[in-house]
Structure 1
Amino acid sequence: MATGMKLPMAVSLQKPMAMAVPSSSSRLPRRINFSTCCSMSATSKAKIPLPPINPKDPFLAKLASVASTSPETLLSRPGNSDSLPYLDIFDSPQLMAAPAQVERSVSYNEHRSRRPPPDLPSLLLHGRIVYIGMPLVPAVTELVIAQLMYLQWMDPKEPIYIYINSSGTTRDDGETVAMETEGFAIYDAMMQLKNEIHTLTVGAAIGQACLLLAAGTKGRRFMMPHSKAMIQQPRVPSSGLMPASDILIRAKEVITNRDTLVELLAKHTGNSLETVANAMKRPFYMDAIKAKQFGVIDKILWRGQEKIMAEVASPEDWDKGAGIKAVDEL
């Protein structure tokens, strides 16, 4: 009986071993259900996070409306190097002073897509535009630096256009939302690029954003006629229940950032350190004309300004037409 019981046990142990060894028929390719695989890959595929976009931004709203109606007009690059891309949606603004003609370099098109890009950030990147439309929080800084590096790799000779509508490291009410190093990080990335950098303010450039505006290539810094620029001292972030010694450390760091900001603004605006420091004692607002006088920008984009100025009468003709006679000096 003992030997008879061993035989079924040996057979039962051999059956799993035989099933584990793949046969020649099992090596044949199976028929794959492609619809099931595609549905599984679609559900398992992670969504690519979109960069932060301000939905109330007027420039992006205008660009989105044009892109939805006729995207082919935005995909064509301008033939004239003096015209900044995508600004024709603002009724074709022109330069107040026509800059010198610059020979355009050969463009490398092998990295560019053949079809229209799917979203606004890709559309702007196709036009070599880096748009800063939010405060300089870490997510915005990360995106801007990545775009600058990508555009330099794409073509190290073509200019890069930075459009600015940002309140810097503060919000509209003045509350600090990020460290000053966020603006310095973008500034350092701009200084390391080989490309020309054209900066343009389409809304407001406040604080660190004003530094980025002034850090563009000399002669290639622009403002729209109703844009604003403002420089101010860095602010101490909320200290909460921090001890006094830690608050003192933070205050010293803010003073260091203020001195650095004064030095950089003096370097790019051509003013002295005393002039910039005195202007920064309180919030110093500048319209387009005042920003040009202060050295933050070089030119103002103004639609039809040449025609308007040609029709303006001289002071003598205006006095004569108004019936005003100049009194002789005593």
Structure 2
Amino acid sequence: MATCLQVAVASCSIPSSSPATFSNRRSIRAFCSVNSRSSAKIPVPLVNPKDPFLKKLASVAANSPETFLYRPSNSDTPPYLDLFDSPQLMATPAQVERSVSYNEHRPRRPPPDLPSLLLHGRIVYIGMPLVPAVTELVVAELMYLQWMDPKEPIYVYINSTGTTRDDGETVGMETEGFAIYDAMMQLKNEIHTVAVGAAIGQACLLLAAGTKGNRFIMPHAKAMIQQPRVPSSGLMPASDVLIRAKEVIINRDILTELLAKHTGNSVETVASVMRRPFYMDSTKAKEFGVVDKILWRGQEKIMADEYSCNCCYER
């Protein structure tokens, strides 16, 4: 802007050979106007076209440079604000334009939720009791991952108390666990299951139902198997309570057979330990056949060193 004003003043200089030709300020302004318009176009510095103040000043400097020759000497008025009909010293925050360098890094749409991000990595996380909403989401994710790629493995992380809460209160029907189990069995993909935190009741069945050799448990995770529980009967008639009790016994027998199938134990053994809640740490869960491996940091290096030592010993 300073360059623009200097050029404007230079183009309006008065010739020294005729000092009496121009006697007043009006004639000087007229001469400057004619001289500036007849000369080359005054260069206008590059300014932000979205800034109304700089845009106005650049326009005035290019079209009427005589405006800047004789500015009013009024200290109460900020410079050049008289060029506007209704000057404003500062815009409101809502009117402030953000810079292009900031806007170009802003996301064009909201980021996806966490389950969607995990699903992109072929990870299904079961972190709640098995209620209908959880079952719906898990089964849908399993079917979607198979549709996306029927050959790549699916990783199921489990931290669930099954169809009960930690205090033993029933929150879902046993069919919720069986629905996820059947969906896992129908998939063509390998299912890698990982226990984090706890896998209790029906959640323990889902942990054991993974592909053999790819069932894992964290070092401090717990697994527990127990008998299904009768939901709250309330004011139900005795005949209805008996019907529910029979259904729970049927579910118990199915759960026992499935656990025996996936753990490699006999039905009698599983039924015997299920009479009371049977808790297992990571070591017991591996011994019982619920999982195949215990995951912990550094085990790959230790196993590799042990393998190399065994090879050297055999030689």
Q: Which runs of 4+ in 1 moved over 3 A?
A: 305-311
Matching residue's letter, 1:146: A
Structure 1 contact 223–301 (Cα < 8 Å) conserved: yes
Structure 2 distance, partners of 1:294, 1:198, is: 18
1:146 is displaced (CA, Å) by 0.3
In the alignment, which of 208, 216, 225 is matched to residue 210 of structure 2?
Answer: 216
Partner of 2:172: 178
User: Taking CA–CA contacts closer than 8 Å with sequence separation of 6 or more, which of the two structures ends up with the larger relative contact order?
Assistant: 1
Give yes or no for the alignment of 1:238 onto 2:232.
yes
Calculate the TM-score normalised by the size of structure 1: 0.58
Structure 1 distance, partners of 2:278, 2:271, is: 11
Partner of 2:190: 196
Gap change, CA 1:130 and 1:307, over 3 Å in 2: closer
Partner of 2:147: 153
In structure 2, the gaps of 5 or more residues are 1-108, 306-315
Structure 2 distance, partners of 1:119, 1:188, is: 27
Matching residue's letter, 2:240: D
Structure 2 distance, partners of 1:174, 1:255, is: 17
1:305 is displaced (CA, Å) by 3.9
In the alignment, which of 247, 251, 257 is matched to residue 251 of structure 2?
Answer: 257
Gap change, CA 1:309 and 1:122, over 3 Å in 2: closer
Structure 2 distance, partners of 1:194, 1:271, is: 25
Partner of 1:286: 280
Partner of 2:134: 140
Matching residue's letter, 2:132: P
Matches within 5 A, 1:18-29: none
Matches within 5 A, 1:270-309: 270-305=264-299
Structure 1 contact 152–195 (Cα < 8 Å) conserved: yes
> Residue 246 of structure 1: SS of its match in structure 2?
helix
Question: What is the aligned residue count?
Answer: 198
> Residue 295 of structure 2: SS of its match in structure 1?
strand
1:144 is displaced (CA, Å) by 0.3
> Residue 190 of structure 1: SS of its match in structure 2?
helix
Give yes or no for the alignment of 1:123 onto 2:123.
no
1:304 is displaced (CA, Å) by 2.2
In structure 1, the gaps of 5 or more residues are 1-114, 312-330
Structure 2 distance, partners of 1:119, 1:179, is: 28
Structure 1 distance, partners of 2:162, 2:236, is: 25
1:118 is displaced (CA, Å) by 1.6
> Residue 242 of structure 1: SS of its match in structure 2?
coil
In the alignment, which of 185, 201, 223 is matched to residue 207 of structure 1?
Answer: 201
> Residue 262 of structure 2: SS of its match in structure 1?
helix
1:116 is displaced (CA, Å) by 9.9
When Rg is computed on C-alpha atoms for both structures, the one with the higher figure is 2
Structure 1 contact 117–123 (Cα < 8 Å) conserved: no
